[in-house]
Structure 1
Amino acid sequence: MALLERVATLLRANLNDLVDKAEDPEKLMKQLVLDMENQLMQVKTQVAIAIADLHVLDKKRKEHESAAEEWKRKAELAVKKDADDLARAALERVLSSEQMAKGFAEQLEDQKAEAEALKAALRKLEQKLAETRSRCEILIAQHRRAKVVGRAQQAQHKADPVQHEASLAKMRTRIVGAEAENAAHGELAGGDSLEDRFAALEREEQIDALLQNLKSQHPA
């Protein structure tokens, strides 16, 4: 049956492998549970139909067995009355009813096997669904926690004091280099002219602005 094949496919599903390959694990897990719930409802419906068919087949078998017994009684009556033609006709009905009863009995056995297979699939699917629901809840919680931890680690990395100190050290190096360059230019010029003094003030002002900007970006 196609239905049992679909159920078997769901039962064989490896949840961890599916989650590892999924772009959106939460969406996949929710869809998997939904698919299993839909299959479960279909299996339950098929089980109910199979059981109903069992009752119908058993009823038909009993009806033909009763008919065979009744025609046997009539055949005996015909023999007692020396009505061989009626007896032969009744015996013909006996054979026909017995054959029909045998056919329904065979169908009944086949139907029992099918009903048992559906019941077994239903039990396994119910168990698998319960396990999958629990497993999905755990995996979804782990997935969400992993995303939170990832965001926290990113935020921590941005606020890492080591990184902060490295940025300050880098800026201090730039400031010291700028001051040394300024001093070197002054020495090469042989004195502090008015232009040099104003240039130095402007350089210091730029340096102060850089330092204040750095401090505002990385408060202590």
Structure 2
Amino acid sequence: MGIFSRFSDIVNSNINSLLDKAEDPQKMVRLIIQEMEDTLVEVRSTSARLLAEKKDVQRQQQRAEHQVLDWENKAELALSKDREDLARQALIEKQKMQQSVDGLQQEIDRVDESLDKLNGEIGQLQEKLADAKARQKTILMREKTASSRLAVKKQVDSSKVDDAMQKFDRYESKIDGIEAQVEAYDLGQRTLRDEFAELENESKVSDELEALKARMKSKEQQNQ
């Protein structure tokens, strides 16, 4: 037995309620869709069988109606020949066939009623099937998104990442130490370029000193 025991169970079911109770909504949606599709095939087969039965009953009814007319014609013929006894028997047979016609019409009406209900239920089932398929796509997208986020979270919160960052810190500290050693080696070692730069600086200082002396001397002269 599937999820639904009867066709009406599917038509009247609440998909949201089923999904809320399911441990695996994606699996539940697949099962619901499969059950609905199988039921549609079965119901359409039943509908086709009812239509075939209706056509067969209609043919029987047409034959019975022809016999009703035939017995009425026979009754008229018998009366025209002054055979009232035969006319009476013909009318009795006509009544029997008319009862058959009426009974067959009732059967046709019952089939039509069943077909109307069945078609209405098929429409409802098709709507629920479309809803289930739409929800299946939504659930799949949500599951993929959640799985991707979980994978990222696991990577971010993983101790491996923390260990790697600590290693980076240690590597940077090592590099800082090496660079400090290089700078230490450079201290106290004067290059030819350094000596020329120092001479240039001394020359600039001397020039600025002489200029300062000249300005001060000029001020003293102005004050005298």
Same fold (TM > 0.5): yes
Structure 2 residue 31 is the aligned partner of structure 1 residue 31: yes
Alignment-derived partner of residue 167 in structure 2: 219
Alignment-derived partner of residue 45 in structure 1: 45
Alignment-derived partner of residue 177 in structure 2: none
Cα displacement (A) at 1:132: 1.3
Larger radius of gyration: 2
CA RMSD in angstroms comes to: 2.3
Cα displacement (A) at 1:216: 6.5
Distance across 2 between alignment mates of 1:113 and 1:91: 33
Distance across 2 between alignment mates of 1:216 and 1:94: 101
Alignment-derived partner of residue 100 in structure 2: 100
Distance across 1 between alignment mates of 2:164 and 2:146: 32
Number of equivalenced pairs: 165
Alignment-derived partner of residue 175 in structure 1: none
Cα displacement (A) at 1:68: 0.7
Alignment-derived partner of residue 121 in structure 2: 121
Q: Deviations over 1:10-29 (max 9, x none)?
A: 13333333223222222211
Distance across 2 between alignment mates of 1:131 and 1:80: 71
* Amino acid corresponding to residue 99 of structure 1 in structure 2: Q
Question: Unpaired segments of 5 or more residues in structure 2?
Answer: 169-224
Cα displacement (A) at 1:218: 3.9
Distance across 2 between alignment mates of 1:133 and 1:8: 19
Give the percent of matched residue pairs that are identical in Structure 1 and Structure 2: 25
Cα displacement (A) at 1:217: 8.4
Distance across 2 between alignment mates of 1:150 and 1:6: 40
Distance across 2 between alignment mates of 1:153 and 1:13: 38
Alignment-derived partner of residue 15 in structure 1: 15
Cα displacement (A) at 1:41: 0.2
Question: Unpaired segments of 5 or more residues in structure 1?
Answer: 165-214
TM-score (norm 2): 0.67
TM-score (norm 1): 0.68
SS at match of 2:6: helix
**Residues 61, 101 of structure 1: 8 Å contact kept:** yes
SS at match of 1:219: helix
Cα displacement (A) at 1:144: 2.6
Quick check: 15-24 or 38-47, which moved more? 15-24
**Residues 46, 118 of structure 1: 8 Å contact kept:** no
Inter-CA distance 156–216: structure 2 relative to 1 (3 Å threshold): closer
Inter-CA distance 6–146: structure 2 relative to 1 (3 Å threshold): same
Inter-CA distance 139–63: structure 2 relative to 1 (3 Å threshold): same
Inter-CA distance 27–153: structure 2 relative to 1 (3 Å threshold): same
Cα displacement (A) at 1:50: 1.3
Q: Deviations over 1:119-159 (max 9, x none)?
A: 11122212221221122111122123212212221221226
Inter-CA distance 107–142: structure 2 relative to 1 (3 Å threshold): same
Distance across 2 between alignment mates of 1:77 and 1:5: 60
Any runs of at least 4 consecutive aligned residues in structure 1 with deviations exceeding 6 A, and if so which? none
**Residues 67, 97 of structure 1: 8 Å contact kept:** yes
* Amino acid corresponding to residue 48 of structure 2 in structure 1: A
